[in-house]
Amino acid sequence: MNSLQLRSSCELLRQKGNKLYNEVSKGNLGPCVARHKLQKAHEFYEKALGVSATEDDKASCYKNLGALNWLWGKREWVFYQEEETAWKGKQGLSSALSIAKSGMTKCLEFYFKALDYGSLAMKQQHWLTQIEDTISKIVQWSSDQLYSDHSPSFEPVLRVLCETVGNSKAEWPGRRRMCVMLYKIHAEFIFRRGVESLTSTEFSDRDGYKKCLNAMRDCYGPLERAESFVGAVSMGKEVVKQVTDLKNEVFNYQTLCEAIQARVQGEELLEKAMCGDMDIIWEAIDYFKISLRVTEEKHLENEAIALSRIGKSYSSVLKMEKKAHPYHFQSIKIALALMSARIASSEWYIYSSEAVRKHQEGVVEQETRENAENRKGSAERMKEKISAVQSEGSKSAESFLKYIYEKCPHPDVTKQLLLTLGSPENVKAALKKAIVAYHPDSNRQQSQDWQVLCEDITKILNAKYENFK
């Protein structure tokens, strides 16, 4: 068979394959019928490739195979999503996911070969650009799958796509940039999965942080691959920044998980110490302080929990309430800034809130007792003066005002007012000024003896002022 006959045969086989391809792409066919037609189309394209006489024919055949596998892979992914939803929680899912992964991998391999042979055959630029645009669409479509309800199942497909593009020997202007984007997308997927496993439960959860930590460590592989392509070709600042920012986020969450890990180790020791093994409490506190130091001012919720645990160690085990209070107080201060329903119902928040409340009540009680004792002594020392004031209080308002300004002058010279009496209005105004000057709240900075005397003076002044209303 000469080259003209071979070319004619290749074209005929491709046309048969195209007919079946179009029936599937435009029709609403069920999985079994679609698979059968796509399989037959694939066979026609393979036969056409086998009889290709020129590089031009080979380029066209590879393009057909690429389009076929791209369509097949997408359809199988849709079938898988529908089947997974219907069979959720059951065994026996079909091989749709496996076929989808194979189709998407092969479509890229075929498109790469189409580009190679198309370049050798001197295909027109728009033909080559069309394939490059299609590969870009595959990358964008892969990115979109990360935000679907079935994204966890797509991760193996995405991994294969990364390997296929990253290991390809084919070269075209946008390949390296595409490699960066694919590996970045893969790292983003792993990152999101890790963050979700952590934030779906309370930070004190003892499984979520492990899953997140493993995910963060898994991010470095694709990120390093992305960086290798960034370094191999001049990339826009935006792309470089995206990779760098993601790497920083991964590091931050890895740090957080390691801090939670230290805190959980401390919590395990704290539980043992509360059961009687007192010797290990200082080791528990050390773990809490490590957790605190790692996340201080970076991950506020973990910082608040670590502070609460240190406080609990001092208050519950070591019975050092004064030492515990600053930790509990700082924990609550941070928690109030972050407040949510989850935090409000958290064991650590409730414990530290109660500890702060009891401490404050204790301080108030102690101050009240001390004030009562101090007042008792002052009342005894000022007994004669108070008696004299009370005696003068039975006289007229004008007489009482003269007495207190002469016999009980205010220690603050600025409050030793000149009296202008005579008319009822003047006396009323003088009473009002005296109440302000002698009121106990205005004399907190004065001695306890003076404050006790002011209490009796103010009572009498208020009573006399009421008579002028």
Whether 169 maps to a domain, the answer reads yes
Instruction: Report the Cα–Cα distance between both ends of the chain, in Å, rounded.
Output: 126
Whether 200 maps to a domain, the answer reads no
Q: What is the band of 425 on the pLDDT scale with cuts at 50, 70, 90?
A: confident
Whether 160 maps to a domain, the answer reads yes
Whether 168 maps to a domain, the answer reads yes
Q: Is the pLDDT of residue 196 over 90?
A: no
Mean pLDDT of 160-189: 78
Whether 349 maps to a domain, the answer reads no
**51-56: long-range pairs with CB below 8 Å, 24+:** 51/1, 51/6, 51/9, 51/10, 51/13, 52/6, 52/10, 53/3, 53/6, 53/7, 53/10, 54/3, 54/7, 54/121, 55/117, 55/120, 55/121, 56/117, 56/121, 56/123
Whether 369 maps to a domain, the answer reads no
Of the residues 173, 196, 221, the one at which a domain ends: 173
Of the residues 173, 197, 225, the one at which a domain ends: 173
Of the residues 131, 153, 173, the one at which a domain ends: 173
Whether 363 maps to a domain, the answer reads no
pTM of the model: 0.65
The whole domain housing 65 covers 1-84+94-173
**Using one digit for the tens of pLDDT, what is the confidence trace for 221-272?**
999 988 888 765 566 677 788 889 999 999 999 999 999 999 999 999 999 9
Whether 43 maps to a domain, the answer reads yes
pLDDT in the model for residue 89: 45
Q: What span, in angstroms and rounded, lies between the C-alpha atoms of 110 and 169?
A: 12
pLDDT in the model for residue 163: 79
Domain count, the chain: 2
